[in-house]
Copies of this chain bind each other. A is one copy, B any other.
Amino acid sequence: MDIKEMLEKVKNGEVSIEKAEESLKKLPYEDLGFAKLDHHRKLRSGFGEVIYCSGKSMDHLVKIFLNFDEKGVDVLGTRATREQYEKVKEMIPDAEYDEIARIIRIQRTNHEKKGLIAVCTGGTSDIPVAEEAAQTAEFFGSNVIRIYDVGVAGIHRLLSKIGAIQEANCIIAVAGMEGALPGVIAGMVDKPVIAVPTSVGYGSNFGGLSSLLTMLNSCAEGIAVVNIDNGFGAAYLGTQINRLTEGNHGE
């Protein structure tokens, strides 16, 4: 019984005021206000579902994929192993796998991509995290330009690309080791820079802590940081900004 129905029954006396009042007091979290919170209003609506594959049991994982597949939505599986992919592919033959990004993708709809996000890395070993970001952003309908291996130890490589970076609506800057890349970019570009520290490195890198701290302490303006190796998180935020810029967030 929905609210309107109940109000009608109150009006025509089928339901007493006391009973209606009691019933309403229990409703709020199920039937009323949470339309606002409905996950169908989230970014991914219209673009399919995302599954974080790491640590999920094979059975459980396949079930989730099949479930979404039956609904006909596109699916992006992040942090997926090849083993997971192969199992999924047995059931859903048009599943694709990207070894570097560790992403399983089932994409059948073809959205026109909008805007532009620049994904940059300091070194070649940051590329897996960057690809997770780039492919996620593309899955959610953003154009992406990849500018890899432009770390500050060879600053001229970065400088020669700065024009291209400035074209984007926002920049995802991925870096391990010293982690200085996002700060340098933010100093040269007046767009939001989303910094992604990676766990790449050795010695006193402490699993990405060093680059995380560097990025948080950047004195450049217009920069914020997501968790270590969190390419997906950066892409989600980047897509939000890209869509706001392109004006289709209210679609």
Chain A interface (Cβ within 8 Å of chain B)?
3-4, 7-8, 10-11, 13, 17, 20-21, 24-30, 32-37, 39, 41-43, 54-55, 122-123, 125, 151-156, 159-160, 162-163, 166, 169-170, 177-180, 183-184, 186-188, 190-192, 194-195, 199, 201-206, 208-230, 233-234, 236-237, 240-241, 244-245, 247, 249
Q: Which of B153, B215, B226 contacts A178 (CB 8 A)?
A: B215
With contacts A8-B17, A190-B240, A204-B208 known, what are 8 further pairs, Cβ within 8 A? A3-B24, A25-B33, A26-B163, A43-B221, A55-B125, A180-B214, A203-B230, A213-B213
Closest 10 CB pairs of A and B: A180-B180, A28-B28, A203-B227, A224-B224, A203-B228, A153-B220, A29-B160, A210-B213, A153-B187, A244-B245
- Tell me whether A17 and B25 are in contact (CB under 8 A): no
A152 to B219, CA, bound (A): 9
Known contacts: A55-B125, A160-B30, A163-B33. The answer to whether A155 contacts B188 by CB under 8 A is yes
- Tell me whether B178 and A217 are in contact (CB under 8 A): yes
Contacts of A199 in B (CB 8 A): 203
Known contacts: A188-B37, A226-B225, A240-B192. The answer to whether A211 contacts B217 by CB under 8 A is yes
Q: Which of B21, B188, B210 contacts A217 (CB 8 A)?
A: B210
Contacts of A32 in B (CB 8 A): 24-25, 27-28, 32
A135 to B43, CA, bound (A): 30
* Most-contacted residue by chain B among A34, A152, A237 (CB, 10 A): A152
